[in-house]
Structure 1
Amino acid sequence: MPVDYNGRWEMVSNENFEDTMKALDIDFATRKIAAPPPPDEDDRAERNDEVNFTVGEEFEEHTKGLDNRKDQGEGGGGGGGGTTLVTWDGDKLVCVQKGEKANRGWKHWIDGDLQLHLEITVLDKVCHQVFKKA
């Protein structure tokens, strides 16, 4: 049975975010806006991102909150992109994004009931974020 990801999670660490965003060709200004605040800084507005999908079904993803890229399938027009597929691998949610960048995707998992991990990959870059349940 997959783990329960419901609830509010607060970031406690964020490693290699900047380099991972650069590998995605995210411009400087957008990287600064998208960067989460340091764990001890709570005066920034709360930001929620939402992606709706069905696990095991491939879909086209629109990243309007980050780089305004709309995946249009491999070989599609309008700036490319690709398709996204999220599956369960044991208790980990694994996302593979095919198209414009090699080795792109993310993994989510919970360590016990205490910490949620997010590992974002693109090319040879890996960002690892850790959250605690609020």
Structure 2
Amino acid sequence: MTSSDDNYDAYLKAIDVGMIQRNLAGKAKPTEEISENGGRYTLKTLTALKNTEINFVLGEEFDEETFDNRKIRSTVTRDGAKLVHVQKYGENEALIVRTFTDTSMEVTYSAQDVISARTFRRI
């Protein structure tokens, strides 16, 4: 899936991503690949600059390394056609909700009263 976005820089700033990393992330046009095998999910985010991958089981907390190399704790759950991803970093929390349709994945990012939306079209 490839993306378009809205208010993403403000979201990245809200989760304490530095200016250089925000600029790089804003220019990147990521592709996300999601797969499931035997209850274990893999989410790959691919860009020209850097690729990341997380592996998880729904409802189980796991260690995640973000694209800007922060170490955080995350949990992903499923709610119908949505994957709800909670990231804990320090005393703060970010929420990423991925909603799947036949043609796209709508992603809402929120942290500290900042909301961003991205649309990934299915390819």
Cα distance in structure 2, aligned partners of 1:116 and 1:58: 23
2:2 to 1, 7, 10: 10
Percent identity of equivalent pairs: 32
Q: Compute the RMSD of aligned alpha carbons.
A: 2.1
Moved over 6 A (4+): none
1:42-63 per-residue CA deviation (whole Å, 9 max, x = no partner) reads xx83754311111111112222
1:26 to 4, 11, 17: 17
TM-score, length of structure 2 as denominator length: 0.75
Q: Which runs of 5+ in 2 are unaligned?
A: 30-46
Higher relative CO (Cα under 8 Å, sequence separation at least 6) belongs to 1
Cα distance in structure 2, aligned partners of 1:118 and 1:99: 20
Q: What is the letter of the counterpart of residue 132 of structure 1?
A: R
Aligned residues between the structures = 106
Aligned to 1:90: 80
CA contact (8 A) 2:15 2:94 kept: no
Which structure features the higher share of strand residues?
Answer: 2
User: 1:103, CA displacement in angstroms?
Assistant: 4.5
Q: Which runs of 5+ in 1 are unaligned?
A: 1-8, 39-43, 72-82
Q: How does 1:58-69 map to 2 (within 5 A)?
A: 58-63=61-66, 65-66=67-68, 68-69=69-70
Question: Structure 1 122/101 Cα, relative in aligned 2: closer, same or farther at 3 Å?
Answer: farther
